[in-house]
Structure 1
Amino acid sequence: MKKMLMSSATTMITLASAVHAQSSITLYGLIDAGLTYTSNETTGTSGGHSNWQMTSGAVQDSRWGLRGAEDLGAGMKAVFALENGFDVNSGQYSSGNRIFNRLAYVGVSSREYGALTLGRQTDGMVDFVAPLSLTGTEFGGTHFAHPFDIDNLNDSFQINNAVKYMSPEFAGFRFGAMYGFSNQAGGFTNNRAYSFGVSYANGPWNVGFGYLQLNSSARTPAQLNPNGAVTDTTASSLQGVLSTSAVPVGVLADSQKTLGVGVNYAFGPAVAGFVYSQSKLTRFFQTNLSANFQNFEGNIRYALTPALELSGAYTYSRAGGNGGGGVPHWNQVSAMADYRFSRRTDVYVQGAWQRVSPSGTSPLGVAWINGVSNPSSTATQLQATAGIRHRF
């Protein structure tokens, strides 16, 4: 009798272990905190002043999340992800009142057929081009972004109501496409988004291309559908710079069309890369203004030792359009040294210097490094951060 009971108990434990192996839920996260010096920040009517401050996410946004999978058989899995971004110094959400402000999706995946997911998700620029740029990686991050993160390579915003497909790898190729619904009766094209991209990896080479289009025909924030796909468009990141100009502030563009291409080449302990992106904005800030932003980034990273990695980038950016005031252009030099105590914990020192060369009376003629609280009162700005990251 005892043998039968022991055998039954063993069988139940084996079955429970098998069921547990078919499903998994993972709690994960990253905390990035540091001390940042900025050479010049505007302070209302008193001009610019230097600033020492505690910062969160100088390289990567602090976050925590849940992801899981359930085996459905025949090589299929149900998958989900919920991810929250937060400010480690205050404990507040990093984006409005959304609990899962970075990711929130559910879907199915297959090694053979790829993954189909629905929810709040990243676009093709983030998925296929950002990994080739230092701003989209752990080797540069927030302050390395192109002006205003206009091309979203630093993942400044995500797309609501998105249906997304990501293919498996075929001989080094991967592709994906996404469509974000407006969820608005009588306004199918208002506040919608769509995106696609492709990448190819072969030996030391890694190449990626991405495209993103955001549509928002709303003319004022009150008319903007709060439940649409487009809720955090990059055009709004220009508000801080333009707030002192004659250009009305607070209104999104009719459309934003962004494309990008990048390439990385690995040799020995080093990886060198180049990224180009272009963003066209039409009818933004309640006017007939249009703008065309272009970014050219050269970057390199070098593993000096298994624990110590050095990285740096130079970015040249320019903005043109029919808004008048000439064509401003930006030069930014960024560098970082990172030391790993372990696989999960590292410390870093990084900095960026930006100079804007305005033409005419352009309101974009002041420097503003991405992630810094306020723009400079002059054409130059310097930022430096010493920080620590921990992953779990």
Structure 2
Amino acid sequence: MGLDIWFLLAIGFSFSGYAAYLLGLRRQTIRPNRASWLIWATATALEALTYAAVNPGAPQGWVFALSAAACILVTIGIWHRSAWSPPSPTDTFCIGTCLTALVLWLVFREAFWAHMLVVAAVPVSFWPTWASIWADRSRERSPAWGLWTFGDLATLLIAVRGAELGVAELGYILVELLCHASVWFLIGLATINPLRSLGARRGGLFIFDRYRPSTNLFRVGENHLGKAVFAATGFAEGDVLLEFTGQRLRADQVPSRMRGRGDRFVQVTPDHYMGPSGRLDDLVNHNCAPNAGLRFGDEGVFLVAIRAIAPGEEISWDYSTTLRESNWHMLCQCKAPSCRRVIGNFDSLDAERREWFRARNLVAPYLQRDEVTEKRAVG
């Protein structure tokens, strides 16, 4: 009976993890490493086959088989939503290791060694994700990593309770347990909390818990308009300050009458916006003479310093650098000497200012128009 309980727990934790991860993908609250998932989809499918060959009839083989199917489903979801880049040398090495294992199994029928090669490839496959999290742990906010760790523990207990115990029996389970647990520790054990990881619904949006910045980088204070973000230390020109991480929304999903504090939407394409994140980036205000600007890249949307910023100075950016909406405007009270009084879309800026932002890659990509076309338009 105990074995049945652990088997059900292993299945339950594993599939709860995949369900949470798929939900995070759908809500765009996580940014998984595409290379790792492509490798995992291949490796888990191969592992399920080789494990079944080495241990026919073992109940944990079903855990591997169902996990492989779920892993492939997640990878398809990532593929559908993402643009794929060529694999790195590390990715290529891991894929090559898995293909070698497949050849060993299919050609030479050496299922044991194929199984062990996949075990060795698992830590390599985690490397792109570890590197991504080390750079920014908010990329993996999902509670799935904690659930997968618990599932691995249950699967390990199933194996320990088995009649025979060997390297092939335990190798993959132990390595998976250590790898899943390492990611969970890196992103923070508190991410098992669904509110922190998946976001709380507020209308049509999912708002995260408050981001707690390091006190030696920023502080949240008040200015003449309300809440604002201030530098608690100095920044040099070009420094990355924050990442904007709001939920991506279609234009028809954005409330039509959002003003003031409620208007925390950033236009990222002609048809899509980034909504509020519930984090520090929501509190960065507009200024007609900003000290920072938004830079769009393959890894995300980042606020970067466009000049040296002194401690105590408010962080700000120019809202017009992402907008093309013709009917949007907002009265400006930034009090800068060059204040435009009314904030409008990108075309409301003069040609010289537009070119200044474009030359520094501080506008939304869809506003980066050909320089020749721009000059003709001005002429």
TM-score tier by shorter-chain length is: under 0.3
The structure with the larger Rg is: 2
Of Structure 1 and Structure 2, the greater strand share is in 1
Of Structure 1 and Structure 2, the greater helix share is in 2
User: What is the TM-score normalised by the length of structure 1?
Assistant: 0.24
User: What is the TM-score normalised by the length of structure 2?
Assistant: 0.25
